[in-house]
Homo-oligomer: A and B are copies of this chain.
């Protein structure tokens, strides 16, 4: 069985649950139908399984090294990226007007998922490039786009995003990288950037960095940040590669996981001039960067989700083939052992993975659908509504899988026992890979502050109202199915609980205390959203059962069971956490430094 994608589930989520077929009726996607999309999925699956997946463990064990100022990477990375490029897959997500394939982003998301699951470290080179290209396309001048975009779109040059500095990670207000305007309108960039994924390598002839920096005299803090395109190697007017742009690789960070993506400390303008070009307006850098960041945040969530999927599928396959022990009621040691998938606790560990992973997958495709709907909205009102939903869901998309699909990976290790803990099996690597997702593209805490401090109240609460309307609509649909009525009541109660919790929080006068448990709210709100995704899936599964083939019966019953699992085992935890958030407890907030250990 494939350990990177469950195609039956992909069909179920995209078409039966989330209505990709309806989306395909829009003229934007006139070139596509299910058959043509399936063909692209087939191609993607075979390249990811045949080319990306086989060396994921080797790349983890042989991470890029820094030798004489250059990066050495095992050759399989280049070969895999070439195969991806040659198959035309760099173009799946872009609009036709810039030469892209203009696939529905739902399908693009699914393709990305296969590659990340197969080999996350290699896939990062692709996605960072696509993000940088999208940002350049959205914000860059015609001249910059003409010069740099085509090479990036084709994947001939890769891209990065350079935000953090050693002294400024979460606190972008404090970046120090400087951009001084030259007579020709370009800028001299000086400073140090930290944690730059894919920041240096020789996989492509050039690397296009998207760099946040401050122009002297700009306002303090985030209001004075501008965005610059800074190539690793200068590009001549005819598009050929020129001399070095003097970006020095000062070191590679050695990460716990995702080791194959170089993670760099870069010095700009240290050994000679580093020239950059303003993208968008002066001091508009942060807003422009967020074109890339929101996309990146959903991509991080998708990454975390498919890492969960990889662990789930692998541990399921293992559990079905590993004999160990007997049923508890069988006291005869001479009877044959059963497969561990027969043991109740292993079933629970598998189901918990399924519930978290397939719940998160549904949310990822749903979010991609919202991105598609943004593009085809027929009115400003419709577009606003979709945008509000996206804004509210983005912190959940990024954070919930980072927490709960990491938990799934923990369960995958547990199922393999001692084997799971060794590097001869992939599940420990996936667990290590996944741990990063809580940190990059905004930490868990930052997304908590984002959702509770801003998103639930934005536009007078319109985002939350839009979400509530969507959830109510699903409840209405599900409520006519007797076996789902209990879940409908539970989800309705959970939404009420969100409301009362927010009311309690809003009554707190100290704004910092009001947000002190924002991270807990974020996780709990994510549970409500995932429960909704499961109710959606349960409706689709119930409908599918009608006249289904035998194999499909098991599939749909599994979906209904997973929905029941989520509502029985998971949603009550969120209710407990809402109770806590509603207390606006000051236990941690009120602690003095000395109280932690007495000194």
Contact = CB atoms under 8 A, between A and B. Distances in A.
A79 interface: no
A9 interface: yes
A423 to B, nearest CB: 4
Interface stretch (A66-74, A322-330, A383-391): A322-330
Interface stretch (A118-126, A239-247, A281-289, A551-559): A551-559
Contact of A313 (B171, B220, B597): B597
A325 B170 contact: yes
Given A428-B256, A519-B345, A350 B596 contact: yes
B599 A551 contact: yes
Nearest to A453: B328
A598 B555 contact: yes
Nearest to A594: B554
Given A174-B333, A422-B253, A569-B580, A599 B8 contact: yes
Interface in A532-590: 551-552, 554-555, 557-558, 561, 564-565, 568-569, 572-573, 575-576, 579-580, 583, 585, 587-590
Contact of A515 (B174, B255, B344, B598): B344
A418 interface: yes
Given A169-B324, A572-B579, A593-B320, A423 B255 contact: yes
Interface stretch (A33-41, A370-378, A431-439): A431-439
A110 to B, nearest CB: 16
A184 interface: no
A354 B596 contact: yes
A597 B552 CA distance: 10
A316 B554 contact: no
Interface residues of A, number: 111
B423 A440 contact: no
Contacts of A253: 418, 422, 424
A199 interface: no
Nearest to A574: B576
A448 interface: yes
B439 A418 contact: yes
B555 A597 contact: yes
A411 to B, nearest CB: 10
Contacts of A435: 410, 413, 421, 428, 431
Contact of A580 (B8, B313, B572): B572
A316 B418 contact: no
A351 interface: yes
A52 interface: no
Nearest to A512: B328
A591 B1 contact: no
Interface string A250-264: 000111110000000
B345 A448 contact: yes
Contact of A439 (B220, B332, B414, B445): B414
A195 B416 CA distance: 13
A343 interface: yes
18 contacts: A164-B418, A169-B324, A171-B324, A174-B325, A253-B422, A256-B428, A316-B597, A320-B593, A344-B513, A345-B516, A345-B519, A354-B597, A410-B435, A417-B443, A555-B597, A555-B598, A561-B587, A569-B587
Interface of A: 1, 6, 8-9, 164, 167-171, 173-174, 194-195, 220-223, 253-257, 313, 316, 320, 323-329, 332-334, 337, 341, 343-348, 350-351, 354, 410, 413-414, 417-418, 420-424, 428, 431-432, 435-436, 438-440, 443-445, 448-449, 453, 511-513, 515-519, 551-552, 554-555, 557-558, 561, 564-565, 568-569, 572-573, 575-576, 579-580, 583, 585, 587-599
Given A254-B423, A344-B512, 7 more contacts: A174-B333, A195-B418, A256-B423, A343-B445, A345-B445, A347-B588, A558-B591
